[in-house]
Amino acid sequence: MEKKFKPYVSPEDTKTRELTFRAVLLGAVMAVVLGGANTYLGLKAGMTVAATFPAAVIAMAVLRMFKGSILEENIARTTGAVGEALAAGAIFTIPAFLIGGKDALWPEVTAMNYVQGTILLLVGGILGVLFVILLRRAFMGDTSLPFPESVACTEIVKAGQGGSSGAGLVFGSMGLAALIEVFKNGNGVPIIGAKVKALFTVGGTAKAAGGTFPYVSPSASPAFLGVGYIIGPELASITFAGGVFGWLFLMPLVLVFVSTTGEHQYLWQQAQHYVAGARLPAHMATGPFKADHVPTINNFIGDQGVLSGIYAGSIKNVAIGAMIVGAFYTLFKMRKNLIGGMARSFSSLGGSSDGAALSRT
């Protein structure tokens, strides 16, 4: 027997304050702040995290001072969490316009590009709201659909009605993260290393290239730690496995083919000089390497690193392909729920088939 959905607040309740100026204003402010934070985090970590939880806690903490209702908290939380979704749409699409140098869609960023980007995000945001309007009733009423994030957020809001908001834990975590960042960031007091990067070689001779294995440790970042905690051990392990697969399996294979050709013909010897701590002769000083200097790890891995350049031009393309396949596979698995939800939504636009009024959502 299908479990009937029962809302926490009765649909017939029209007296509780909901769409108020203070709720919308607080939600808009949180959308800007959390959206900006997720934009930075998404570009750095390659994924965004749910802004729903901090938005819910902050909304409860702030609106409680003004005796706000649970519906006002929900409006503020929903508005604040939208910034994260819009940020994800921006960071996963707009950089594609800039990749490709002179052949890119946006070879040089101009004021017109900012206008185009703003219009694209505006249209995407409006389309997202329209789809939510169409699908909300099906998603809210179908109890078979798993929404762990929304369910958890609901429990947070319900717990807040009993006097527990968890705001102290959220703001305390923010303070601890800021303290760690002060001792890690180069603009603060950097006594904590951000990461460890190095390489080792296997086999090979002075004339025949062997295996070159570059590696970079996970970054000592409170933001990344928070991402890992939010997505959970399973998804965090998959992400970590992808990094190991890319750097310690695919990269050595690629380096075998490129280390004896073109501009990378001395790559194997350069790696050997790095491992041995020996100075490079002049004829091997190509790219970022300098003659009569011992190669450093930054010559291999970093903003100007030769291995980072190879990684960006080859391994990242594999990762992008895997991401696209995963997206289509997810849509394929959700096809029945999406099609059914759209069908029920369109059929309900004209009201209930038996003439009864539909409950508001």
Detail the DSSP E strand segments found in the chain.
Answer: 197-202, 211-216
CA distance linking residue 51 with residue 37, whole number of Å: 9
CA distance linking residue 305 with residue 302, whole number of Å: 5
Q: pLDDT for 196-209, tens place per residue? A: 888 878 777 766 66
Q: Which distant-in-sequence residues (6+ apart) come within 8 Å of 315 by Cβ? A: 246, 247, 250, 251, 254
Using 50, 70 and 90 to split pLDDT, how confident is the model at 25? very high
Of 246, 237, 187, nearest in space to 216 by CA: 246
> What does the pLDDT read at residue 5?
56
Give percent of the chain above pLDDT 70.
80
Q: 52 or 7: whose pLDDT is higher? A: 52
Say yes or no to pLDDT of 137 above 70: no
Rounded to 5 degrees, what angle do the CA atoms 226, 231, 235 make? Answer: 125
> pTM above the 0.85 mark?
no
Q: pLDDT for 51-85, tens place per residue? A: 777 888 888 888 888 887 888 888 888 888 887 77
Q: pLDDT for 297-340, tens place per residue? A: 888 888 788 888 888 888 888 888 888 898 888 788 878 777 77
